[in-house]
Structure 1
Amino acid sequence: MAAIDCGTNSVRLLIADVSDVSDDPGASAVSDVTRQMRIVRLGEGVDRTGRLSPAAIERTRVALVDYAADIAEAGVDAARMVATSASRDAENAADFRAMVLDTLGFAPEVITGDEEARLSFNGAVRGLTAEAPFLVVDIGGGSTEFVVGERDVDAAISVDIGCVRMTERHLRADPPIPEQVAAAEEDIAAAVDRALAAVDGARARTLVGLAGSVTTVAALALELPEYDPKRIHRARVSAADIAKVTADLLGRTAEQRLRYPVMHPGRADVIGAGALILRIIVERAGLDAVIASESDILDGIALSLA
C-alpha cells in the first residue's frame, strides 16, 4: 500500500505492508517499507491570498515526482493521496489537482477536516495501551484536528489553527515579540476552547499528539542528540516540559533553532507556533502530558486501503 498525505507544510509518503488483524482490532497492522517527508510549504500565503502559489505547487510537484518513482519501484497494489487544509482553502485547488493527476497518474482526494481527523485517529490509537477515552490532536500547518474516542471515533472537528497559519498571521518577527505571542495565544485559545467543547474533550483521559510540531517538541524535551522516531514514538512529555520548550523556541530566531540537532530545516521558522498550539491544548484540556505519536494520518490512509 502507498499512502501520501499532503498538508499545508509538508508532503509525506508511506509505503507499507498492511496485515489482516480483523481478529485483534487493537493490534498494529502497518509495517513500514519506507516513510518519507518533504517540506514543500504548499499553503504558504494561503491565509492571506486564498490561493496556492505557482512556486508552492511546483515544490510539491518535484517531491511527488520522486514519490511516484518510489511507488513504481515498490510495485504497490493500491495507493491513495489525501490533501488537507491548504487545498481545502485554496481558490485554485483545481490547478493543484491537475498537477497531481499528471504527476502520479491518480487524483488527490481533498478531504474534509472531519475525514482528516478520523484517519489521524485510526492511525494513532491502533495498538496504543493507555487510558481511554483518547483526545487525539493533529497539529498541521494550516489546521488542527481534534478527535475524541476509545477504539472508534465519537466526535471530531477541524479548526483553522496551524503552525504555518499562526506564524504568518501573528508571529512575524524573528523571534516574535511579546505582543505577537499574546495575540497568537488569544487566537489559539479561542479555537481550542471551541474545539474541546465540540468534541467533549473534558472526558478524555489521555492526550495523543501527532505531526511534526509535536514530535519535534518531544525530541527537544527528551534532549535527543538526533531525531530518533523510535525514541519519540509514544514518549510521554509533561505539561511542564512542553511549556519550557515552547518558551525556549519562542525566544529564539529561526537560525538559532536550526542549531538543535533534531530540528528539520523546513520547520525552524514555524515550530514556535506549533509548540504554542500544543502548550495551549494541554492547558485548556486540563491534562498533565501528551503522548507523542509517529503513527498518524499516513497509517490511517494505509489502513483505509486494506
Structure 2
Amino acid sequence: MNRHLAEDNLLAAIDLGSNSFHLAIARLDHGEVRRVDSLSEKVQLGAGFDKDKNLTPEAQARALACLARFAQRLQSIPLKRLRIVATNALRQANNAANLIEQAERILKKRIEIVAGREEARLIYLGVSHTLADEGRRLVVDIGGGSTEFIIGENFNPLETESLQMGCVAYTQRFFADGSINAKALERAIMAARQEVMAIATAYRHLGWQSVVGSSGTIKATRQIMVQQGWASPEGYITKDGLKQVKERILQAKHVSELNLLGLKEDRRAILPAGFAIIQAVFDELGLETMNYSDGALREGVLYDMLGRFSHEDIRDRSAQALLARYHVDNAQAQRVATTADMLYQQVQQPLNLDDEDQDILRRAALLHEIGLAISHSSYHKHGAYLVQYSDVAGFSQADQEKLALLVGCHRRKIREEQKLQLIKSGGLSMFYVSVLLRLAVLLHHSRSADPLPVIHLHSDGLDFILQFPDDWLVNHPLTQADLEEEIDYLSAWGICLTVK
C-alpha cells in the first residue's frame, strides 16, 4: 500500500489550545513542510469553566464559531491530510465530548485529545524542525492550561513532561479581576516554582546545551525585551530582562494599563500570569537565557502526519517499544499480525474498512499478549489496562482507548456492552476489526511456527465464512474445537461464523 504524499500537496493541522485555536496549512516542499497559510484566534477555552469543571455554553459557542471560520479555509484540503488535536482544556472538561461532537460535525474530521506528554513530544517535533541542530536542548512551551517541558537531541525527545500551569489558568487563579500587585505576582511565581520543582532535579541531571521557548506568552515577553533593549545581543530572553519586565508590570495597577509596545488587549490580560511562569522556570531550572522558536504544536502535528505518509509512523515504533518493555513473544506477535492482515485484505471492501482500520488491527495484533507480563490469568484484561494507561508516543487518548478495547476483547467470552463500546469508539469498522483480531489469535493458539494453509474469509458484516483446505481441520482438532467455541462466543455479538 502506497501512502506517500506527493510534493506540493497541501496538508493542514488544527491545534485546539486552552488559550488560542491555531490553523496551519502547509505544502510539502522537498521533504520539508512549508507553511502557506495560518489563522489564529484567542478563544480562551481554559477560561470558560464553570464550578463543576464544565465548559460553559458561551465558551463552547466561541469555540464552534472559530471552527466554522477555520472550516472555510479547509475546503481545498482532503480530510486524510488534516489532523486536529486538542490539549489541556479538553483534557480537563467534564463535558468535552459534547463540544467535540459538535466540532467534528463542523470540521468533518475526528478530533484527537492528546495526553500531556504526547503534546510535549509534538511540540518538540515542531520546534526541532525550525531550528538548526544545537546539541541537546531544553524546550519550554507555555500554554493556556499547561506548560510542557522537553529535553531532546536532533528530532528525538529524551524526556517529556506536562505540568498543570498555564497563562489562562493562572490568570483566573491570581489575576481574575485584572488587578496587579506585588503580592499576587509573587504568589503566582511561587505556585509555578512549586510545579517546576517536581521535575527540576531530573531535568538538571539530564542537562542541556541550549534553551528554547515557544508559544505566544514567550513570544510576547521576548518582543517586549527586544524593543526595550532588555534582551541579549542575540535577541534572547535573559534573567536581567525579566527583572525589567517585572518592574514594568508592577508599575501598572490593572492589566488594562499594560500598554507595552502595542500588545493586544487579550495578550495584556494574561501577561502577568505568563511572566510568572517564565520567571519560575528561570528560577527553578537555573536558566540564564532562553531563545524563541515559531515552531510549536501545530508544526509538530504537520511533521508527525508527514511521517505517517512516509512510513515513519512513531506509533509503530511505540508498539515495538511496548513489545520489548513487556517481553512479548515477538515471533508469535508477528504471526498473529500477519494473519490478521491477510484476513483484513480479504474483507476490506465488503466491510468498508480503511487504512486506519488496518493500522490499528496490526498494532492490536502485535500487542495482544502484552498482559502476560502481569499474569496468564485474564491476561487480555491486564493487557487492555497496560495499553490504555501507558505513555505511548504518537497515540491520542481515543486511539489508546480503541487499542485497549481491541486487546481486551481478543479472547474468551464477550459481552454485548463490549460490542457497544467498540461501535461507540470507532463505528462498525472497530467492531469488525475486533472480530478479525479474534480469528487471527485463535488460528495461532497452538503457537506453532508452521505456516497456516491457504484460508479464505468472506463476510457481509453479519455472516463470516471461514474456509479451510479439505481435511486440514480434521488433522488439527484443537483448532476445530477453538472455532466451534468461537461460533458460540460471536453469536453473543450477533455474528454468525460458519467454518467450512
TM-score, normalised via structure 2 length: 0.55
Which residue among 38, 52, 56 is the counterpart of 1:53? Answer: 56
**What is the distance in 1 between the residues matched to 2:87 and 2:271?**
19
**What is the distance in 1 between the residues matched to 2:220 and 2:52?**
29
Q: Find the counterpart in structure 2 of residue 11 from structure 1.
A: 21
**What is the distance in 1 between the residues matched to 2:197 and 2:284?**
7
Q: Find the counterpart in structure 1 of residue 185 from structure 2.
A: 181
* 1:76-155 alignment runs, 5 A limit: 78-129=81-132, 131-151=134-154, 152-155=156-159
1:163 pairs with 2:164:
no
Q: Find the counterpart in structure 2 of residue 263 from structure 1.
A: 263
Q: Which runs of 5+ in 1 are unaligned?
A: 22-28, 225-233
Q: Which has the higher strand share?
A: 1
Q: Find the counterpart in structure 1 of residue 36 from structure 2.
A: 33
Deviation at 1:77, TM superposition (A): 5.7
Q: Name the amino acid aligned to 1:183.
A: R
Asked if 1 retains the 8 angstrom alpha-carbon contact of 2:45 and 2:59, the reply is yes
Deviation at 1:261, TM superposition (A): 4.2
**What is the distance in 1 between the residues matched to 2:179 and 2:205?**
32
Higher relative contact order, structure no. (Cα contacts within 8 Å, ≥ 6 residues apart): 1
Deviation at 1:82, TM superposition (A): 0.6
Q: Which moved more, 1:167-176 or 1:267-276?
A: 167-176
Q: Find the counterpart in structure 2 of residue 280 from structure 1.
A: 280
Deviation at 1:47, TM superposition (A): 8.3
Asked if 2 retains the 8 angstrom alpha-carbon contact of 1:175 and 1:250, the reply is no
TM-score, normalised via structure 1 length: 0.88
Deviation at 1:282, TM superposition (A): 1.7
Deviation at 1:181, TM superposition (A): 1.8
Asked if 1 retains the 8 angstrom alpha-carbon contact of 2:182 and 2:250, the reply is no
**What is the distance in 2 between the residues matched to 1:179 and 1:202?**
34
**What is the distance in 1 between the residues matched to 2:98 and 2:56?**
10
Asked if 2 retains the 8 angstrom alpha-carbon contact of 1:64 and 1:103, the reply is yes
* 1:173-212 alignment runs, 5 A limit: 173-200=177-204, 203-212=207-216
Deviation at 1:79, TM superposition (A): 0.5
Quote the sequence identity (%). Answer: 28
- Computed over aligned residues only, the root mean square deviation of the Cα atoms, in angstroms, reads 2.1
Deviation at 1:48, TM superposition (A): 4.9
Deviation at 1:92, TM superposition (A): 0.5
Asked if 2 retains the 8 angstrom alpha-carbon contact of 1:239 and 1:290, the reply is no
**What is the distance in 2 between the residues matched to 1:202 and 1:284?**
15
Q: State the Cα deviation string for residues 242-269 of structure 1 (Å, max 9, x = none).
A: 3322332344222122x33441332221
**What is the distance in 2 between the residues matched to 1:137 and 1:290?**
9
How many residues matched? 289
Q: Find the counterpart in structure 2 of residue 241 from structure 1.
A: 241
